[in-house]
Structure 1
Amino acid sequence: MKYLFKFCLITFTLFISCSDDDNLQISEGSFGNILTPDEGQVIILNPFEDQTNIAITVSWEDATYDVPTSINYTAEIAVSGTNFENPIAIGNTNTNSLSTNISNFNGFVTQAGLFPFVEGALDIRIKSDIGDENVLPQYSSMVTITVTPFTTDLPRLAVPGNHQGWDPPTAPNLAASAFGETDYEGYVWLDGEYKFLAPDQTGAFDWGNTDWGDDGTSTGVLVDMDGEANCNATVAGYYLVKANTSDLTYSTEAQSWGIIGNATPTGWDSDTDMIYDPATRMLSLTLDLTAQEAPDNGIKFRANDGWDINLGDSGADGTMEFGGDNIGIAESGNYTITLDLSNPREYTYSLTLN
């Protein structure tokens, strides 16, 4: 009986040991230091530079393992101080060096959590693995650098006011014509007083950011100091709003939109007016259209029953250009037509056959 007990005990111990070994992950070897970039290196990413130029080259000492094997390296970044809780991989290689260009590195950095045009600290490390799940990955030493990323999104201003409850985060936006420009414009339903508000460094709109109002003369002059007057739309309506924060000017022009063309019941002689919905911030219309082939025929959108401001679709890609080509109608029928001017400088439309 004593021998049987010892045999069972030995068998149970072996079973536990084998079971533990099946799940045991070991790491054998060593990993050294990152060689480049240097600790504290400063990188300012430039949106005007050739985006295929190299932004950063990371190099490191080889990792070693107890047996000769192929090693895969992954360069990882994370916002400094986060202990790589959410690492972003910027590339993989079997060598001990990796380079990435401006465009890709800027994307990785903003994905990691740094804000455009704001200097931020970034940690870099290298992970090595040999493709064996029983061997834990090894990590190099860490270096911290400083990076200023950018965005090429069009700069924006918010237009909070009486028309939407003075709530900056939900306010309609204006957009500049290009990165680095200050000539903002967009379409806004206005009803009473309003202001212009810049985003903070993270891109968020809220009170406390720089804002602009009227200088008190109601002549289209902006000021950005305490005590400025609110701008005021005395007649509620849909407006083309412009503001230039360098020239300190602004303007509003009430616009009513319609469609015109030989695909409509009234041809090229008159517009059929569209209706603005403040809830969706879109104009819409249900109308019978006849098949017409662009670019010589079809429909266009125009403002205030005139040709000074009209939108077409050059390239038939669903995006609109001022003075663009006529929009063809492929099939006769009853259509729901929408015009979306709520995304400044990126205007779209839709034609849905009912």
Structure 2
Amino acid sequence: MKNTFRSFLAISTLSFAFISCEDEQELMFLTPEGSFEILTPTSGDEVTLNATTPLNPGLTMSWEDANYGSTPTEITYEVEIDKTGDEFDNPLVLTSTTNTYITITSDVLNSAVFSVGLTPFSQGSIDIRVKSSVGAQSSEVQYSNVINYLVTPYSTELPKLAVPGNHQGWNPPTAPRIASSAFGETDYEGYVWLDGGFKFVAPDASGNFNWGNTDYGDDGSFSGVLVATGETDCTASAGYYRLKADPTTGTWSAAPVSWGIIGAATPTGWGSDTDLIYNPTTKKLEIASIALVPGAFKFRGNNAWSNGFDLGTVNADGYLIDGGDLTFSGAAGNYKVILDLSNPRRYTYELIAL
């Protein structure tokens, strides 16, 4: 009896394997019958994406079932996009699913349309299609119709200029940056250690900073006139500066500044600053050790009030801005102070207990 059972089991296993293999072979040679259509959205629909609502739907799609005949099998769909006019020469797969519908959040769609070449805050057009396939090794694929979708993406990155010069070996890719106040603005600003000649270099279309891009310098009068043709190197003696440049108004400036911490929380109160020292390795301003007590304080430039160098408020995004007072509420003791102005218009500080 035992041998009979084993023989039956072996035959059953072999039969199942044969059927499975046969099914897989059948899937490999399935071919699409007819075509399938995207149902929603319709060609020409549009969306404006917003950084304040990243999880809102950016694209909701549905489409018909692809037809592979009467053989029951699961169909895989890939939603592909490309910039209109690029003819899907290098499509981006937005998502893969076995459903006939998807919802893509605004933040995911925003990143995707940047990848295929759309410009922030400017409406652009992408083409969308759905690719279907079946089987482990994918049968002959089938494509839906193509629709256009108009997208206005956003950017949370501030536009920047590189500042190559004698201070860092005249190398734009590794040069410090200055940033404008918002996308579309040209009021670039930042803090940079300078030492001799320097220039301002704009990014290329891909966001890279290199010689051969548009670059700006002084008009030769050294009176703060910024030009892109016939320019000469700007120049500054060795030191730490608040650097400004505006290609629209054609102006630039470099204001030397030394920073300190002042306030009731510091050893000298509101009477005088304790100076921060520039660290060329970290590009940050530091005090190795200072005794702090609970109380108000702020960062002040050039040991004076009302000179435009006053950082005492943290905004809703967590960055230091002008005006107001900060509060130290930790335990009294020695602390390392770090003021980081190396990320333009994204200024931060740290108080680290020793």
TM-score where L is the length of structure 2? 0.76
8 Å CA contact retained: 2:79, 2:93: no
Deviation at 1:312, TM superposition (A): 1.9
8 Å CA contact retained: 2:276, 2:285: yes
Which residue identity is paired with 1:191?
D
Equivalent residue number for residue 161 of structure 1: 165
Equivalent residue number for residue 177 of structure 1: 181
2:273 paired residue among 271, 274, 278: 271
SS where residue 210 of structure 2 aligns?
A: coil
Q: CA RMSD in A?
A: 4.3
1:88 paired residue among 80, 84, 94: 94
2:244 paired residue among 242, 258, 265: 242
Number of equivalenced pairs: 335
Which residue identity is paired with 1:279?
T
8 Å CA contact retained: 2:296, 2:325: no
**1:195 matches 2:199:** yes
Which residue identity is paired with 2:267?
P
Deviation at 1:261, TM superposition (A): 1.4
Partner Cα separation in structure 1 for residue 212 and residue 46 of structure 2? 27
8 Å CA contact retained: 2:57, 2:105: yes
Deviation at 1:138, TM superposition (A): 5.7
Aligned in 2, Cα 1:317/1:176: closer, same or farther, shift over 3 Å? closer
8 Å CA contact retained: 2:227, 2:250: yes
8 Å CA contact retained: 1:42, 1:145: yes
Which residue identity is paired with 2:336?
T
Equivalent residue number for residue 8 of structure 1: none
Deviation at 1:223, TM superposition (A): 0.9
Query: Cα deviation per residue 1:124-167 (whole Å; 9 max; x = unaligned)?
Result: 3324589x969869642463859775534211111111111110
Equivalent residue number for residue 296 of structure 2: 298
Aligned in 2, Cα 1:25/1:207: closer, same or farther, shift over 3 Å? farther
SS where residue 238 of structure 1 aligns?
A: strand
1:1-354 equivalences in 2 (<5 Å): 17=18, 20-21=21-22, 26=27, 30=33, 32-35=35-38, 58=61, 60-64=63-67, 66=70, 74-77=78-81, 80=86, 87-89=93-95, 94-95=99-100, 104-110=108-114, 112-114=115-117, 116=119, 124-127=128-131, 139-141=142-144, 143=146, 151-225=155-229, 227-233=230-236, 235-292=237-294, 297-308=295-306, 309-314=309-314, 319-354=319-354
SS where residue 167 of structure 2 aligns?
A: helix
TM-score where L is the length of structure 1? 0.76
8 Å CA contact retained: 1:33, 1:140: yes
SS where residue 298 of structure 1 aligns?
A: strand
Partner Cα separation in structure 2 for residue 44 and residue 105 of structure 1? 13
Deviation at 1:331, TM superposition (A): 1.0
SS where residue 193 of structure 1 aligns?
A: strand
8 Å CA contact retained: 2:288, 2:336: yes
Deviation at 1:218, TM superposition (A): 0.4
Partner Cα separation in structure 2 for residue 81 and residue 30 of structure 1? 24
8 Å CA contact retained: 1:125, 1:143: yes
Aligned in 2, Cα 1:49/1:322: closer, same or farther, shift over 3 Å? closer
* Structure 2: unaligned runs, 5 residues or longer: 1-10
SS where residue 112 of structure 2 aligns?
A: helix
8 Å CA contact retained: 1:37, 1:56: no
Deviation at 1:264, TM superposition (A): 1.4
Which residue identity is paired with 1:32?
S
